[in-house]
A = this chain, B = another copy of it.
Amino acid sequence: MDGIASLITIDRFSPVPLYFQVATSLEDLIESGRLPAGSRLDTEVMLADRLGLSRPTMRQAIAHLVDKGLVVRKRGVGTQVVHSAVRRKVELTSLNDDLRRAQRSPRTEVLAFSVAPAPEHIAVALHLEPGADVITTQRLRYAEDEPLALMHNYLPAGVAPGLTAEQLGEQGLYQVLRTHGVQLRIADQTIGARRATAAEARLLGESRGAPLLTMQRTAYDHAGRAIEYGSHVYRADRYSFEVSLVAR
């Protein structure tokens, strides 16, 4: 544990903040196994001294790792690397992003796309005035040429000017929003299950009454404005949610 600081390089002329460079280097050391799970880091005082940094800067680098769940700190004891298999996996992504990442050949069929006054429960979910216009979309999502999910999504009418059904056919909803300059930050999700209706079963290629995994979601941007409400159903035998939880 004597030469950890010697494995960390920092470029004082780089525009990348010093704390971030150090955090990244430490993260690489952890991922590579050079700092294995359970091992103790040198003290923040020692690392700062050897790297020629101030202690608060070193603390900020380590705090970054704590936030990522890579290390834990204990007063009087030190800083320890957490189990390497454990990561924070809380992600706000769309199904398209997920499937593309998993290389499951996503394809989308837009079944409906319209702008109309919001039904009551949609206006409530999106924190809109009753009767406010929303974009309503209905899409059937395929993976590897099999139906996977049926999705209803609603967006306030002004959120993505010029949004078209064609765009939704080619890209995921969140990707389209990103190209319109909309950044989603937080989402509240409810995950459940129920039987498929006859219409859903037909579209998804399941038998009537088959179990579906359901998810309703309201997504907000950085200023807390509701940007999207989604109500999705997935074929239970083909999809599940992976969620990581962290205790504070």
Interface residues of A (CB under 8 A from B): 37-38, 56, 69, 72, 80-86, 88-92, 127, 183-195, 209, 211-214, 220, 222-226, 236-237, 239-247
Contacts and interface: CB of A to CB of B under 8 A. Distances in A.
Contacts of A183: 247
Contacts of A80: 223
A133 B235 CA distance: 36
Contacts of A209: 209
B237 A194 contact: yes
Contacts of A82: 186, 220, 222-224
How many monomers of this chain does the complex have? 2
A38 B220 CA distance: 13
Contacts of A222: 72, 82
Contact of A236 (B38, B187, B193): B193
Given A86-B224, A192-B213, A194-B237, A185 B246 contact: yes
Contacts of A86: 186, 188, 220, 224
A83 to B, nearest CB: 2
A225 B196 CA distance: 40
Contacts of A243: 188-191, 243
Contacts of A191: 191, 213, 240-241, 243
Given A92-B247, A185-B247, 15 more contacts: A56-B56, A72-B185, A72-B222, A80-B223, A85-B127, A85-B224, A90-B246, A186-B246, A187-B244, A188-B243, A189-B243, A190-B241, A194-B236, A213-B213, A243-B243
